[in-house]
């Protein structure tokens, strides 16, 4: 099939503002959007810039705005989109070139919630054990691949770059509800701040955008309740 692929291009060395460029690409219905981008880069315009790594929905590096929705280019099939496809960089982060954005603000928020196990108790003779039920309590948060699809679909993040964003809160949830962790006070300082969970307006964009089908909004609400119950 013939696909019309529109890409929002931006090169700071040449452009004052982003510009649309259209490519005609021969494709199979089972091709992915990532395949189309490779065909353009390898056969039509080698200056096209985008990120990819594993190409199988695990690394999270190729999140893009595809036909108006945040998706992973490596998991989005042509047959699900039709013959007219528009690709833009994810919103709310500075564009470096074409479909590549500066991820540093996203990862700064990730680091702020201390996404690692904190436990200063004397170590046991063997590992710190958990029951299957305790492990299940934070299972959803472990599925996050840090693609930023949820955070960059959030209208609060678009207008307030200081907001931690859904992905960082999901990462905090993963450790707050881990029975082995003792770092909730440190995380609550970041989560309860003016740029923390209380900025969330429960728009559900984040849940719809997640390629791993994590119930992001639900996890954010659980973090809010944890902070409230801790205070009162």
Mean pLDDT across the chain: 96
Please state the pTM of the whole predicted model. 0.94
Q: What mean pLDDT comes out for the span 214-228?
A: 97
Q: What is the pLDDT of residue 156?
A: 97
**Per-residue pLDDT reduced to its tens digit, 31-77:** 999 999 999 999 999 999 999 999 999 999 999 999 999 999 999 99
Domain 2-101 has CATH 3.10.20.30: yes
Q: Is the pLDDT of residue 172 over 70?
A: yes
11 — pLDDT class (breaks 50, 70, 90): very high
Closest to 149 measured CA to CA, from 96, 98, 212: 212
Fold of 103-229: Fumarate Reductase Iron-sulfur Protein; Chain B, domain 2 (1.10.1060)
**Per-residue pLDDT reduced to its tens digit, 78-115:** 999 999 999 999 999 999 999 999 999 999 999 999 99
Encoded tokens for 128: 């710190």
Q: Is the pLDDT of residue 202 over 70?
A: yes
Q: What is the pLDDT of residue 14?
A: 87
CA distance 171 to 114: 9
CA distance 28 to 43: 16
Q: What is the pLDDT of residue 232?
A: 58
Q: What is the pLDDT of residue 109?
A: 97
Residues spanned by CATH 3.10.20.30 within the chain? 2-101
The one-character DSSP state at 61 is T
Residues spanned by CATH 1.10.1060.10 within the chain? 103-229
């Amino acid at each position: 099939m013939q696909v019309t692929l529109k890409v929002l291009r931006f090169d700071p060395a040449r452009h004052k503002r982003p510009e649309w460029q259209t490519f005609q690409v021969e494709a199979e219905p089972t091709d992915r959007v990532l395949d189309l981008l490779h065909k353009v880069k390898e056969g039509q315009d080698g200056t096209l810039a985008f990120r990819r790594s594993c190409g199988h929905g695990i690394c999270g590096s190729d999140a893009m705005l595809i036909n108006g929705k945040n998706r992973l280019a490596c998991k989005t099939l042509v047959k699900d989109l039709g013959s007219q496809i528009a690709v833009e960089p994810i919103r709310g982060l500075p564009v470096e070139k074409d479909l590549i954005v500066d991820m540093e603000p996203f990862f700064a928020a990730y680091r702020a919630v201390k996404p690692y196990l904190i436990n200063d108790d004397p170590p046991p003779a063997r590992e710190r054990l958990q029951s299957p039920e305790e492990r299940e309590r934070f299972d959803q948060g472990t599925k996050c691949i840090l693609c930023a699809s949820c955070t960059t679909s959030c209208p609060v993040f678009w207008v307030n770059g200081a907001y931690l964003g859904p992905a960082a809160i999901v990462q905090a949830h993963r450790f707050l509800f881990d029975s082995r962790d003792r770092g909730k006070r440190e995380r609550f300082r970041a989560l309860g701040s003016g740029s923390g969970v209380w900025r969330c307006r429960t728009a559900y964009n984040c849940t719809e955008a997640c390629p791993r089908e994590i119930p992001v909004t639900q996890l954010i609400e659980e973090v809010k309740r944890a902070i409230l119950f801790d205070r009162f």
